[in-house]
Amino acid sequence: MAKITIPAANIEFDCTNDTIMRAATRIGLGFPYECNVGECGNCRFELIEGEVSYLRANPPGVTERDVQRKRYLGCQALPQGDCTIKVSLRDHYKSKFLPKKTTGELIEAFDVTHDIREFRFRLSENAKFIAGQYGLITAPRVEGARAYSMCNTGEDGAEWHFQIRRVPNGAATTSLFDNLKVGDKVGLDGAYGMAYLREDAPRDILCLAGGSGLSPMVAISRAAAKSPALKDRNIHFIYGGRTPRDVCGEQFLKELEGYGTRIHYIGAISMPDDPSSAGWTGKVGFVHDIAEQVFGEKLGGMEVYFAGPPLMSQAVMKTLIKSKVPAAQMHFDQFY
């Protein structure tokens, strides 16, 4: 067991078989982070004293400068004894439900599209979450955990459901899609993430998703649809795919009370000239452009949640900034 000290905050905590950021988050500290897989670098801290190794060898988020300045990634740093560190804790990163490690048994899996499948796990111990958050899945025979957002709502935390897009030759997705059978178990850890539904925000909701970003936007819509605090708010969902066979999500919204009156869906494709797009009568364009076309100046008055591939998130962010959406009304966890 290692003791981690943060002198500026007058805090000391134990870290056993865990990374420094995750151990801090498990006891309710607001340790900064985002992706949890060593990519984004948001969880950087300075090592004042002690030694750490990395869970994932050479995490991509580490820069030359980090090495020179003895800065490490909290989500991957394993203490090799007692450590003293410097990091600015912020309330924004505190978890409502403290993340924990559990095991998930696959109870059901079904295809959503040609490359997205929903996997439903029953947890060995309930772990609650807020809609929009993600968990870490350790798939059988895969090195390292991957982040996946839940698509269900987590009031009791008995089951976690994930809508996962298959990545060609991806280690975790190949294991999950090709090898995992009902009754098999995976390691789960969570919940993590800050892109969760804000029930105290009295604004119409806009969910923007593309590709792998479906899951958290479905969760946000489901939770918002049944939230008494948001009962007078509209929920708009825009999903973008390349061609019609990618477009999905409406089937989940249709199950919600208020679909067609206060819950609205738009599907869009970005490759109208592809032969498989023949006959498409819906919108054409990228989700950020569609959002701008449809909502224009109204965007500034909306609570906007978005998820998807990095290029999509960057384009959405640019559009929202241009449309003067305040930063506090934008919610996303960058996918990698």
Ligand X SMILES: Cc1cc2nc3c(=O)[nH]c(=O)nc-3n(C[C@H](O)[C@H](O)[C@H](O)COP(=O)(O)OP(=O)(O)OC[C@H]3O[C@@H](n4cnc5c(N)ncnc54)[C@H](O)[C@@H]3O)c2cc1C
Binding residues vs ligand X (CB under 6 A):
35, 37, 39, 56, 134, 143-149, 164-165, 167, 170-173, 193, 212, 215-216, 333, 335-336
Residues 6+ apart with CB under 8 A from 311: none
Least Å from the CB of residue 238 to ligand X:
17
Question: Whose Cβ is closer to ligand X: residue 206's or residue 209's?
Answer: 209
Q: CB atoms < 10 A from the CB of 202, how many?
A: 11
Question: Whose Cβ is closer to ligand X: residue 141's or residue 275's?
Answer: 141
Residues 6+ apart with CB under 8 A from 79: 2, 4, 15, 20, 50, 51, 52
Least Å from the CB of residue 138 to ligand X:
9
CA–CA separation, 52 vs 60, rounded Å?
17
Kindly give the interhelix angle for 287-295 and 310-322, rounded to the nearest 10 degrees.
Answer: 20
Residues 6+ apart with CB under 8 A from 17: none
Question: Whose Cβ is closer to ligand X: residue 62's or residue 284's?
Answer: 62
Whole-Å CA distances, 88 to 8, 31, 32, 259: 8, 7, 8, 43
CA–CA separation, 15 vs 64, rounded Å?
27
Question: Whose Cβ is closer to ligand X: residue 76's or residue 323's?
Answer: 76
Written as six digits, the tokens of 184 are 């098999």
Position 304: which residue type?
V
DSSP annotation of 259 reads B
What one-character-per-residue DSSP string does 148-161 give?
EEBSS--SS-SEEE
Question: Whose Cβ is closer to ligand X: residue 295's or residue 335's?
Answer: 335
Q: CB atoms < 10 A from the CB of 31, how many?
A: 28
Q: CB atoms < 10 A from the CB of 49, how many?
A: 11
DSSP annotation of 22 reads H
How many residues are present in the chain? 336
Least Å from the CB of residue 215 to ligand X:
4
Question: Whose Cβ is closer to ligand X: residue 6's or residue 135's?
Answer: 135
Q: What is the 3-state secondary structure (H, E, C) of 27-51?
A: CCCCCCCCCCCCCCCCCEEEEEECC
DSSP annotation of 97 reads S
Tell me the backbone φ, ψ of residue 184, rounded to 5 degrees: -75, 160
Question: Whose Cβ is closer to ligand X: residue 193's or residue 267's?
Answer: 193
Question: Whose Cβ is closer to ligand X: residue 72's or residue 148's?
Answer: 148
Written as six digits, the tokens of 212 are 């792998």
Question: Whose Cβ is closer to ligand X: residue 119's or residue 265's?
Answer: 119
